[in-house]
Amino acid sequence: MPGSPRLSIAICGAGPAGLACALALGRAGHTITIFEQFDEAKPVGSGLILQPTGLAVLDWLGLGVRMRALGARIDRLHGTAAGRTVLDVRYAALGDARGLAVHRAGLFNVLHDAVLAAGIIPVTNRKIVGLEKGQLHFESGDRQGPFDLVIDAMGSRSLLLPLASAPQSRRALAYGAIWASLPWQADGFDPHALEQRYRNASQMCGVLPIGRMREGEEAQAAFFWSLKHQDYEAWRERGLERWKEDVLQLWPETVPLLASIKSENQMTLARYEHRTLPLPFGTGLVFVGDSAHSTSPQLGQGANMALLDCHALTQALATHQTIPEAVAAYAAARRWHVRLFQAMSFMFTPFYQSDSLLLPFVRDRVVAHLSRLPPAQRFLATLVSGRLGLKPLV
């Protein structure tokens, strides 16, 4: 089918969504300019799990081999509360499929290096504050454009969200987490699992092997602790040592990991919010990744959804003559998968992060037993893999 003619495309944001779109659409022959607010394009945060869905998109981009060499293969998600297994999802229920835990910087480096190799140099130190008639407005006061199409990949706090055809207000979630990347400790931790410990739903600690940022560097672990945003200042004031006592009470084996945390500043606070744009486009504008849909990372889908958005948008632009037709086709292609996972994430999050006593009780007594049944194991693996409700990419 004939695609849109060669377009001049502005990509706002150099996160996973923006970089993947730049690479795919640059290869499709469009003229790409990436704008990023940071002085230097760089990743923020610790680690994440690439699911079979996201890995399939990286394979489509020709980046899967390098990414797998940097990341850590994940076979299992395992969580316990008071010594009882309450989460046990095994990818093996799906055959050969596995997750891949990566350092955010590892994913960034793989995408960014490929973008540079394709001759696209992100324009940095450009904070986008508005868009009018295809022209981007920057905080510095100047403008650039017009562009045929603007892709908003600026994440959950994008300032262009009010320009969506049907904007939606965000719902901030009370719980976030403090995160750090630490040297990997082989003793006591499974190198192929996300491991978590819970007390009710108000305390959660996790350890995830995330591999390397670049070839030859040391392997790392993502370490996280659930925290309400409103309690962050109190957490800092209380001091590191008293917090470490809480962590050790929940998970004594974390001693070697905690030893490498010497300052509160090593722990970054991540805030979560829940929002799904019903129509992820506006005039000459399309939203991908967290700007189109953001949620808590309980199901570990965000970066994978961003990569799936990139694939769907590239296909839509390749098979539709006009931009309005293409962005509507992109939205339709992603609609049900996005809605399903946003709903699932919204439903599951309070079982793991909330003040409820009832939900963790149900999780520990009922869900834990049900999830051992083979059909439930397969369902949970399909859910976590991101494949639920999704047609294979190729």
Residues that bind ligand FAD (CB under 6 A): 12-18, 35-38, 45, 48-49, 126-128, 153-155, 158-159, 177, 179, 270, 289-290, 297, 300-304, 306
Residue 171 backbone zone (phi > 0: left; psi -120 to 50: alpha; other: beta): beta
With H, G, I as helix, E, B as strand and everything else as coil, classify residue 233.
helix
The label of the residue with tokens 């009370």 reads 174
Considering beta carbons, is residue 3 or 235 the nearer one to ligand FAD? 235
Considering beta carbons, is residue 152 or 364 the nearer one to ligand FAD? 152
CB of 177 to ligand FAD, least distance (A): 6
Considering beta carbons, is residue 3 or 302 the nearer one to ligand FAD? 302
Considering beta carbons, is residue 289 or 360 the nearer one to ligand FAD? 289
* Structural Rg of the chain based on CA atoms: 21
Considering beta carbons, is residue 41 or 247 the nearer one to ligand FAD? 41
| Residue 43 CA, distance from chain mean position | 12
Considering beta carbons, is residue 10 or 317 the nearer one to ligand FAD? 10
Considering beta carbons, is residue 22 or 326 the nearer one to ligand FAD? 22
The span from the CA of 83 to the CA of 72, in Å, is 26
Angle, helices 302-319 vs 16-27, to 10°: value is 20
Considering beta carbons, is residue 124 or 260 the nearer one to ligand FAD? 124
CB of 18 to ligand FAD, least distance (A): 6
With H, G, I as helix, E, B as strand and everything else as coil, classify residue 288.
coil
CB of 163 to ligand FAD, least distance (A): 13
The stretches of 89-231 forming alpha helices (DSSP H) are 104-117
Q: Are 61 and 24 in contact (CB under 8 A)?
A: yes
* Start-to-end CA span in the chain (Å): 17
| Residue 313 tokens, joined | 């948008």
Q: Are 104 and 47 in contact (CB under 8 A)?
A: yes
> Which among 173, 122, 176, 131 is positioned nearest to 152, based on CA atoms?
131
b/e string for 250-288 if b means 16 or more Cβ within 10 A?
A: bbeebeebbeebeeeeebeebebebbbbebbbbebbbbb
